[in-house]
Chain A
Amino acid sequence: MSRARPALTPWLLVSPGALLFLGLIVLPLVLTFILSFHVYDHTTGIKNEFTLAHYAAVVSDDYYLGIFWRTLRLAALTTLICAAVGLPEAYVLSRMRDPWRSVFLLVIIGPLLVSVVVRAFGWSMLLGSTGLVNQLLQALGFGTAKLLYTESAIVIALVHVMLPFMVIPIWTSLQKLDPMVEAAAWSLGASRFTALRRVVMPQVSLGMLSGSLIVFGLSASAFAIPGLLGGRRLKMAATLVYDEYMHELNWPLGAAIAIMVLLANLIIMLAYNRMVEARARRTLG
């Protein structure tokens, strides 16, 4: 018995996590995958026959392709802006001394404690036609601008939500940096900016990589923000899936779109990871 236990222990330890993963992720995914091949009829509903028609419909229809393209574009833009804002933010954070560092770390993580839906409504109030932003624009004499239900609104809100996921990995990799390395670059004649670009940034590229993977993945599958700030017409992949399920009641088509988004996301992220990580690993070890 005492001989059997060591072999059993790791399985027992891993079982809660594995069961959760199997029951809540793998199983629904498999069911969705099967569902996406079912035939759907508008009068009788889902039939127990199999077809590739849903996939063919999505690939051949400009409407769906347009939404996929927008999703990709907005997710990439969000990632880019998050990286551009997050890097200096993380750098400043890493140079702060302690009382302030903790305060600002909390400020950065703070938004995560508020529901995404609440934050999306907040933005829709700010960006609405009579919202604070437009009042300010009017007061300054620029006239009103249509902000709500535009791609800009979606990107603004996504950046706000995703920023912590970029700042924290970069900050972690900055922590590991020898502060003297930057001083060495200065002593060799590099300006502060050059030192940052040539010496600090390449070394936090792994942190930026994981940050952008998280941000891209979450943005491409974001639901609440495009749903509330994009309006009925400006759809992204997740809101499209929702519409197919809940409004069209065409579950198999929705499932097919969901599977395609998942695969596209997976391919993009793996390719990106392979590309950047391979290079970083080679030099940084």
Chain B
Amino acid sequence: MGFLTLESLSKVYGELAAVRDVDLSVAKGEFVSLLGPSGCGKTTTLQMIAGLVEPSKGKITLDGRDITRVTPNNRGLGIVFQSYALFPHMTVAQNVAFGLEMRKVPRAEREERVKAMLGLVHLGQFAERYPRQLSGGQRQRVAIARALVIQPPVLLLDEPLSNLDAKLREEMQFELRRIQQRVGTTTIMVTHDQAEALSISDRVVVMEQGRMTQIDAPYRLYERPATAFISSFVGKMNRLDGVWRRHGASGHAEIAGMKLPSEAVDLADGYAVALSIRPEKLLLKPAGQGRLDGKIVNRFFLGSYWLFNVETAIGLISVSVPNDGEEPASEGDTVALDWTPASLRVEALSAQGAAA
């Protein structure tokens, strides 16, 4: 039994089920991200945990206590809203102190805790400013401080970084993780940014159309996506349809007559399969020295790596190559692709549609 559990939680708006039978168990101190495209129900799930949306069905328990029908002000959870929702008429210190005031914490202790919390988020000198006098990143940290100062059992983050520019977003990701690890608060973050979810979570929950389709540690999610949707949503993926050719105990994948060494699976001969491989698992070699020849169509320089689109006999394949300081092959060059068989994943589609 986890610290925070959701049991067959659902939210139905008229005909539309925004969230369908969601089950999740979060351990104490864990950082869990709800990842998915907009409209997948992740924010509704978060709002049900927060008590801002009433579930149509299901149960939420916190530390063994059923909180499904408890009002938001009696749940005691810390929430960081997407818009930050700071109180514009209060100073930073007053914003942070608000939750303590509501808990009737004595003034001296209140000031002490506000000061300590503002120190933690590096906003010590800004205590007397108003929110409108702060930058986006600073406001964000005020929102985090305000939510954490009440020492909530669970911290809920609703797209906390989406209003920040790219550079600040990356900084704040690590900042968020640092604060969370320091305080040790159980945290649930909603995000549509897979990089954000992967980099700072202990576990990632992928949501599609109101359902949780995979709950896994970030690297496992990346290496073993459960559905086609997840494989394309989380990171880049080359995905091709092929056929499984079985010979004896082993076999190989095949597309348009090309034999492609892959991981071993136990499938019948002629089974339709989906083959997938991450761009960074492919190697570029001089023509003729790899498993598959192709011609470079586009080449993009992305700083830490190069991205190639290579036209091959089995279709267009993306390859990413770390930047080693030398200029690699250019557009129009003929190259060969190579990979370790285990990195080419094979997934059974169905027995039908198998190539003759």
User: Which residues of A are in contact with B by a Cβ distance under 8 Å?
Assistant: 178, 180-181, 183-192, 194-195, 198-199, 202-203, 283-285
- Interface check B76, CB cutoff 8 A: yes
Looking at the complex, which one of B81, B103, B130 makes contact with A180 (CB distance below 8 Å)?
Answer: B81
* Interface-central residue, A184, A198, A199, A285, by most chain B CB under 10 Å: A184
CA distance in complex: A38, B76 (Å): 72
30 A–B contacts from the bound complex (CB under 8 Å): A181-B85, A181-B87, A181-B88, A183-B85, A184-B79, A184-B86, A185-B87, A186-B71, A186-B73, A187-B72, A187-B75, A187-B79, A188-B102, A188-B147, A188-B150, A189-B73, A189-B74, A189-B76, A189-B99, A189-B102, A189-B150, A190-B102, A191-B73, A192-B73, A283-B88, A283-B89, A283-B130, A284-B88, A285-B130, A285-B132
Contact A180 B85, beta carbon cutoff 8 Å: yes
- Chain B residues contacting A190 (CB-CB under 8 Å) are 73, 98, 102
CA distance in complex: A186, B73 (Å): 5
Task: Encode contact with A along B194-230: 1 for CB under 8 Å, 0 otherwise.
Answer: 0000000000000000000000000000000000000
Min C-beta distance of A15 to chain B, whole Å: 39
Min C-beta distance of B171 to chain A, whole Å: 24
- Chain A residues contacting B75 (CB-CB under 8 Å) are 187
CA distance in complex: A11, B99 (Å): 55
CA distance in complex: A198, B150 (Å): 18
Complex interface residues of chain B between 60 and 82 (CB less than 8 A to chain A): 71-79, 81-82
Looking at the complex, which one of A191, A192, A199, A285 makes contact with B87 (CB distance below 8 Å)?
Answer: A199
CA distance in complex: A185, B77 (Å): 11
Q: How large is the interface on B (under 10, 10 to 19, 20 to 34, 35 or more residues)?
A: 20 to 34
Contact B88 A203, beta carbon cutoff 8 Å: yes
CA distance in complex: A168, B102 (Å): 31
Looking at the complex, which one of A187, A198, A284, A285 makes contact with B73 (CB distance below 8 Å)?
Answer: A187
Q: Could you count the A-B residue pairs with CB atoms below 8 Å apart for me: how many are there?
A: 73
CA distance in complex: A227, B86 (Å): 49
- Chain B residues contacting A191 (CB-CB under 8 Å) are 73
CA distance in complex: A187, B143 (Å): 12
- Interface check B146, CB cutoff 8 A: yes
Min C-beta distance of B157 to chain A, whole Å: 12
Contact A187 B89, beta carbon cutoff 8 Å: no
- Interface check B52, CB cutoff 8 A: yes
Looking at the complex, which one of B77, B90, B132 makes contact with A187 (CB distance below 8 Å)?
Answer: B77
**Please, which residue of chain A has its CB at the minimum distance from the CB of B96?**
A188
Given contacts A189-B150, A283-B90, list 13 more A-B pairs with CB under 8 A: A180-B82, A183-B50, A183-B81, A184-B85, A187-B50, A187-B147, A188-B99, A188-B102, A188-B146, A188-B150, A202-B89, A203-B88, A285-B132
- Chain B residues contacting A186 (CB-CB under 8 Å) are 51-52, 71-73
- Chain A residues contacting B87 (CB-CB under 8 Å) are 181, 184-185, 199
- Interface check B83, CB cutoff 8 A: yes
* Interface-central residue, A181, A188, A192, by most chain B CB under 10 Å: A188
CA distance in complex: A181, B71 (Å): 16
- Chain B residues contacting A185 (CB-CB under 8 Å) are 87, 98
CA distance in complex: A199, B89 (Å): 8
Given contacts A184-B85, A202-B89, contact A194 B79 (CB under 8 A): no
Min C-beta distance of B13 to chain A, whole Å: 13
Given contacts A180-B83, A183-B81, A184-B79, contact A285 B99 (CB under 8 A): no
Min C-beta distance of A22 to chain B, whole Å: 40
**Please, which residue of chain B has its CB at the minimum distance from the CB of A190?**
B102
* Interface-central residue, B81, B88, B90, by most chain A CB under 10 Å: B88
CA distance in complex: A194, B88 (Å): 16
- Chain A residues contacting B73 (CB-CB under 8 Å) are 186-192, 195
**Please, which residue of chain B has its CB at the minimum distance from the CB of A202?**
B89
CA distance in complex: A284, B86 (Å): 12
Min C-beta distance of A207 to chain B, whole Å: 13
CA distance in complex: A284, B130 (Å): 8
Contact A285 B81, beta carbon cutoff 8 Å: no
CA distance in complex: A160, B82 (Å): 41
Given contacts A178-B83, A183-B72, A189-B73, contact A285 B88 (CB under 8 A): yes
* Interface-central residue, A187, A191, A202, A283, by most chain B CB under 10 Å: A187
Min C-beta distance of B67 to chain A, whole Å: 13
- Chain B residues contacting A178 (CB-CB under 8 Å) are 83, 85
* Interface-central residue, B72, B82, B86, by most chain A CB under 10 Å: B72
Complex interface residues of chain B between 80 and 112 (CB less than 8 A to chain A): 81-83, 85-90, 98-99, 102-103
- Chain A residues contacting B132 (CB-CB under 8 Å) are 285
- Chain B residues contacting A181 (CB-CB under 8 Å) are 85-88
CA distance in complex: A203, B85 (Å): 13
Please provide the 8 A-B residue pairs with the shortest distance between their CB atoms, ordered closest to farther: A188-B99, A189-B102, A184-B85, A180-B85, A186-B72, A187-B79, A202-B89, A283-B89
CA distance in complex: A58, B150 (Å): 62
- Chain B residues contacting A198 (CB-CB under 8 Å) are 98
**Please, which residue of chain B has its CB at the minimum distance from the CB of A285?**
B132
Min C-beta distance of A166 to chain B, whole Å: 21
Given contacts A178-B85, A188-B146, A189-B76, contact A183 B52 (CB under 8 A): yes
**Please, which residue of chain A has its CB at the minimum distance from the CB of B47?**
A183
**Please, which residue of chain A has its CB at the minimum distance from the CB of B52?**
A183
**Please, which residue of chain B has its CB at the minimum distance from the CB of A184?**
B85
Min C-beta distance of A149 to chain B, whole Å: 44
**Please, which residue of chain A has its CB at the minimum distance from the CB of B80?**
A184
CA distance in complex: A190, B85 (Å): 15
Contact B81 A184, beta carbon cutoff 8 Å: yes
CA distance in complex: A191, B71 (Å): 9
**Please, which residue of chain A has its CB at the minimum distance from the CB of B150?**
A188
- Chain A residues contacting B71 (CB-CB under 8 Å) are 186
CA distance in complex: A33, B21 (Å): 77
CA distance in complex: A190, B72 (Å): 9
